[in-house]
């Protein structure tokens, strides 16, 4: 990238970071080009985007976008860094990363890529939090579970009322046969 192109790139990245619902930084070292392409394809399907960026350029863009200071730490911005952004669903790219990391393992047995840090809807998340979020069920599954829990008492009440009604009908039909 030419020196004159860098300010334009930083401005575009800054705008993207400011408008994103989630921003996740990962260390993608050890990932093959084919694996990176596969991961980018998965992100594209969920309206997310993966961008390999120089740490210094990311730091400039993140400062401009007013991301939390923990995201800009020198301990975070070392090594190979890729930025994953999502403008729609803040959790789906994290779940995609978690699933992909389980499928793709390094020679030493570590998952690839490795979570660094993230910002989800303005809140800073460390790598441990991101790993936990990546194992959560999808939004649709969680909504279904909540709905099921809300409807369970009504179904129980209907079952109890139906059971008593069936007993009454049975007693009346037996009394009709005898009498």
- With vertex at residue 9, the alpha carbon angle to CA 53 and CA 16, rounded to the nearest 5 degrees, is 80
Q: Which domain holds residue 91?
A: 6-136
Interior/surface letters 100-110, b for 16+ CB within 10 angstroms, e for the rest: bbeebeeeeee
Same domain, 106 and 170: no
Q: How many domains does the chain have?
A: 2
Domain CATH number, residue 77: 3.30.70.1730
Q: Indicate whether 156 belongs to any domain.
A: yes
| CA atoms of 88 and 22, how far apart (whole Å) | 9
pLDDT of residue 137: 84
Q: Kindly state the average pLDDT of the residues 5-12.
A: 94
Same domain, 89 and 159: no
pLDDT digits (tens, 9 = 90+) for 69-110: 999 999 999 999 999 999 888 999 999 999 998 888 777 777
pLDDT of residue 64: 95
Which range (31-35, 37-41, 64-68) has the least confidence? 31-35
pLDDT of residue 159: 79
pTM, whole model, 2 decimals?
A: 0.76
Instruction: List Cα–Cα distances, 31 to 67, 110, 150, in angstroms.
Output: 27, 11, 44
């Amino acid at each position: 990238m030419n020196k004159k192109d860098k300010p334009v790139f930083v401005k575009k990245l800054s705008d993207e970071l400011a408008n994103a619902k989630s921003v996740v930084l990962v260390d993608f070292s050890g990932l093959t080009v084919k694996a990176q392409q596969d991961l980018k394809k998965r992100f594209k399907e969920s309206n997310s985007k993966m961008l390999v960026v120089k740490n210094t350029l990311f730091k400039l863009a993140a400062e401009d976008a007013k991301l939390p200071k923990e995201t800009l730490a020198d301990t975070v911005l070392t090594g190979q860094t890729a930025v994953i952004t999502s403008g729609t669903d803040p959790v789906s790219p994290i779940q995609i990363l978690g699933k992909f990391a389980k499928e793709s393992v390094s020679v030493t047995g570590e998952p690839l890529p490795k979570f660094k840090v993230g910002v989800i809807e303005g809140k800073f998340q460390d790598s441990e939090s991101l790993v936990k979020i990546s194992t959560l069920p999808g939004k649709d599954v969680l909504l279904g579970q909540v709905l099921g829990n809300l409807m369970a008492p009504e179904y129980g009440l209907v079952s109890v009322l139906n059971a008593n009604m069936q007993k009454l009908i049975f007693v009346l039909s037996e009394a009709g046969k005898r009498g």
